[in-house]
């Protein structure tokens, strides 16, 4: 029974890792297609921002599948050393996921109004 559980868990983790790779590749291709439709000027900057946002979302999804595979692998880790390595990898992936989510939130939030600056800014503010 233990051998069956180890083999099944290992196979499920492998499938999840395959899904993660597929998700990242698909997201990368979708972002490349978005970039290839690039235009000049402000529209070009908007397309680059959209491509980054699209890629970031796919990367976050891929990391979630990788993390799920890591959690399953912890159930079958035969030694403390392997468990420690899995914990380190899971921690790194969780941190990457956190920062990616934060970057995505920054990209999707509206830009704050800029304060005028320079020598004439104070004079314009007073007038």
Where do the structural domains in the chain lie, given as residue ranges?
Answer: 2-126
The answer to whether 13 and 65 have CB atoms below 8 angstroms apart is: no
How many angstroms separate the CA atoms of 31 and 122, rounded? 43
How many angstroms separate the CA atoms of 74 and 19, rounded? 19
**Straight-line distance from the first to the last Cα atom of the chain, in angstroms, rounded to the nearest whole number:** 82
Q: What is the mean pLDDT of the chain?
A: 81
Six token digits for residue 55: 């890629």
Predicted confidence band at 41 (pLDDT cuts at 50, 70, 90)? low
Q: Is pLDDT above 90 for 53?
A: no
What average pLDDT does the segment 90-109 reach?
Answer: 83
Element holding 83 (H helix, E strand): helix 80-108
Q: Is pLDDT above 80 for 111?
A: no
For residue 56, the model assigns a pLDDT of 85
For residue 26, the model assigns a pLDDT of 96
């Amino acid at each position: 029974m233990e051998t069956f559980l180890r083999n099944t868990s290992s196979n499920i983790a492998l499938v999840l890792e395959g899904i993660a790779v597929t998700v990242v590749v698909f997201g990368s291709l979708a972002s490349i297609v978005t970039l290839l439709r690039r235009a000049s000027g402000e529209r070009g900057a908007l397309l680059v921002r959209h491509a980054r946002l699209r890629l970031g979302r796919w990367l976050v999804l891929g990391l979630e599948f990788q993390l799920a595979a890591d959690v399953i692998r912890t159930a079958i880790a035969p030694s403390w050393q392997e468990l420690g390595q899995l914990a380190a990898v899971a921690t790194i992936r969780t941190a990457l996921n956190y920062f990616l989510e934060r970057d995505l939130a920054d990209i999707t939030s509206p830009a704050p109004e800029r304060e005028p600056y320079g020598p004439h800014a104070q004079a314009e503010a007073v007038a």
